[in-house]
Amino acid sequence: MNETSNTLTSRREFIKTTSRIAAVSALAGVALPHVHAAGSDLIQIALVGCGGRGTGAANNALASKGGPTKLVAMADVFEQKLNNSFESLQKEKKDQMDVPQDRKFIGFDGYKKAMDCLKPGDVVILTTPPAFRWVQFSYAISKGLNVFMEKPLTVDGPASRKMLKLDEEAKAKNLKVGVGLMSRHSRPLQELHQRIQDGEIGDVIVMRGYRMHGPVGHAFQTKWPGDPSELLWQIKHFHAFLWASGGCFNDFYIHHVDHLCWMKNSWPIKAQAIGGRHYKHNPEGLPYVDQNFDAYNVEYTFDDGSKMYMDGRCMNGCNDIYSSYAHGSKGMAIVSKSSDCGAPSMTFKGQNPQRSNMIWTSKVAPDQQDPYQNEWNDLMDAIRNDKPYSEAKRGVEASLVSSMGRMAAHTGQEITFEDMLNCEHEFAPDVDKLAMNSAAPLQADKDGKYPMPMPGITKKREY
């Protein structure tokens, strides 16, 4: 892809500028007033986005160490999801639930009403589809709230640029920001990262990530049934639509992309990829109308020439692999033995992961085994003790790298970091204006099918 203007951001300028901003902001944060009193003061929480991930995040927030927490407001566009989440949390954390009916908000403006129930220094959880992340993050910053937001943070170039500017604003206000890339809070992966940096497997040359299993989530969808509205249906099945989620590549594969790049301490500079749709109909014979490929294979290249391969597949009856690996000049590592960051992590002499070659295997204290809980304990510790803490920039970078792999597959072109960051194709340009009666950002054709990527034909945008 060609750069569109000389004002566009380069990868080197992006990394240099954001690193400088992060350093200055961290130092500035020391002089800023605390946004929350240290010690055991109550931290109030609002949940925006009440699906399974939001409910899990709220549960972890209420279980965090260091002082009292209480959930005081909830918001979603689906009343049933909010009610189900409330009932689940009420069973688990009844003593920490203070969400009366007048603090349960339904609608696209519910995020504002929920955040209005908090005071500066409290925490809002943003677990709606990522299309809404920059809109809600902006409002949280204006209210002086600390934030936990789920991955991915962005799905296209314009949203990424907006989020980077918002990150600067959050740091300037000394707000603490956590991002749901929990691999970075896995204690085995943290120790493995240090061992790799210390040279235990030599120079990292190749990394491999695999998430290959049957269809999950809502990635593959048949025709809109007519109820609820097309907009609400797309949001409910957000994995199926690039505007809402970045598709299955971003939502499913970002964990491996993120933690492997962490092992390398670098982001790739370019990607090339293949992918495709193999089955046009579901088992009932109905045509799929979503925007996802069934399988993806992405080759990422780093500035030193080393490679990272990410294989994703959502097909039944195939060999399932869900793990990640790093290969160095002296040995190799099992990064995640299973799932997104499943223990144990291990290192080996040579390139064969045989027990006789094992150097190290991870062991973790019982209270440190859950990375989802660890990330909340770490965030709350930073809030209560006013430690510099912002994962937003890294979350945007991981989202960009995921998106550049997806775009390489969808266009059939080599996509650089700059291409993705500066791409002007905004999937949902008016997402901040959506209301319950709005049209969906993506419109179907007369047969109920949505625009699909066409590699080699549609080259400069994904559809």
Helical (H) or strand (E) element with 415: strand 415-416
Q: Is the separation of the CB atoms in 167 and 392 below 8 Å?
A: yes
Structure token pair of residue 68 = 């009292």
* Half-sphere CA count of 453, side-chain side, radius 13 A: 29
Indicate the SS3 state at residue 84.
helix
Whether the CB-CB separation of 302 and 264 falls below 8 Å is answered with yes
Residue 428 lies in a domain: yes
262 and 170 within one domain: no
Same domain, yes or no: 175 and 189? no
165 and 141 within one domain: yes
In the prediction, which pLDDT does 338 show? 97
- What sign does the CA torsion over 217, 220, 222, 223 have? positive
445 within domain boundaries: no
8 Å CB contact between 306 and 264: yes
Domain termination residue (choose one: 355, 390, 425): 390
* 463 occurs within a structural domain: no
The first and second tokens of residue 255, run together, are 């964990």
In-domain check, residue 438: no
**Which tokens belong to 25?**
């902001």
Q: How many CB atoms lie within 10 A of CB 271?
A: 27
Structure letter (DSSP) for residue 332: E
220 with 282: CB under 8 angstroms? Answer: yes
Cα angle: 201, vertex 393, 188; to 5 degrees? 35
Judgement on whether residues 313 and 341 belong to the same structural domain of the protein = yes
Question: Is residue 219 in a domain?
Answer: yes
Contact partners, residue 435, CB within 8 Å, separation at least 6: 107, 108, 109
pTM over 0.75: yes
At residue 36, the pLDDT reads 61
* 303 part of a folded domain: yes
Q: How far apart are the C-alpha atoms of 163 and 161, rounded to whole Å?
A: 5
* Alpha carbon distance 390, 281 (integer Å): 44
Residues 257 and 229 in one domain: yes
How buried is residue 248: exposed, middle or buried, by Cβ count under 10 Å (0-12/13-18/19+)? buried
Same domain, 249 and 351: yes
How many whole angstroms separate alpha carbon 145 and alpha carbon 170? 9
Residues 140, 207, single domain; the answer is no
Backbone angles phi and psi of 390, in degrees to 5: -150, 120
User: Is residue 65 assigned to a domain?
Assistant: yes
Residue reference for tokens 């799932």: 339
Q: How many domains does the chain have?
A: 2
Residues facing residue 70 across a β-bridge: 44
- In this structure, the dihedral spanned by the alpha carbons of residues 364, 365, 369 and 374, taken in order and rounded to 10 degrees, is -110
Q: Which strands make up the sheet holding 331-336, listed edge to edge?
A: 358-361, 346-349, 331-336, 321-328, 204-213, 307-314, 295-301, 270-276, 415-416
Looking at this protein, which amino acid is placed at residue 111? Answer: Y
Burial (CB count within 10 angstroms: exposed 0-12, middle 13-18, buried 19+), residue 404: buried
Residue 52 maps to which CATH number?
A: 3.40.50.720
CA distance 151 to 240: 16
Out of 327, 357, 390, a domain closes at 390
Report helix, strand or coil for 271.
strand
Closest CA to 159 of 197, 131, 179, 118: 131
Phi-psi region of 229 (alpha: psi -120 to 50; beta: other; left: phi over 0): beta
| DSSP 8-state secondary structure symbol assigned to residue 227 | -
Q: What CA–CA distance (Å, rounded) separates 49 from 82?
A: 8
Same domain, 268 and 412: yes
Contact 115, 46 (CB under 8 A): yes
CB 184 within 8 A of CB 290: no
The rounded distance, in Å, linking the Cα atoms of 76 and 47 is 9
Say if residue 275 is in the same domain as residue 356: yes
Strand 321-328 relative to strand 204-213, pairing: antiparallel
Contact 118, 38 (CB under 8 A): no
Phi, psi of 270 (to 5 degrees): -160, 165
Our measurement of the distance from residue 386's CA atom to the centroid of its chain's CA atoms, rounded to an integer in Å, reads: 25
Give the number of residues written for the chain: 463
Same domain, 166 and 202: no
How would you write the pLDDT of the chain (463 residues) with one tens digit per residue? 443 333 445 555 554 454 444 444 443 444 455 556 444 599 999 999 999 999 999 999 999 999 999 999 999 999 999 999 999 999 999 999 999 999 999 999 999 999 999 999 999 999 999 999 999 999 999 999 999 999 999 999 999 999 999 999 999 999 999 999 999 999 999 999 999 999 999 999 999 999 999 999 999 999 999 999 999 999 999 999 999 999 999 999 999 999 999 999 999 999 999 999 988 778 788 889 999 999 999 999 999 999 999 999 999 999 999 999 999 999 999 999 999 999 999 999 999 999 999 999 999 999 999 999 999 999 999 999 999 999 999 999 999 999 999 999 999 999 999 999 999 999 999 999 999 999 999 999 999 999 999 999 999 999 9
Let me know if residue 453 belongs to a domain: no
Backbone φ/ψ region at 330: left (φ over 0), alpha (ψ -120 to 50), beta? alpha
Same domain membership, residue 192 and residue 297: yes
Q: Beta strand 270-276 with 295-301: parallel, antiparallel or unpaired?
A: antiparallel
Q: Residue 421's domain is classified under what CATH number?
A: 3.30.360.10
Q: Do 355 and 377 lie in a common domain?
A: no
Q: Which domain holds residue 309?
A: 185-365+400-433
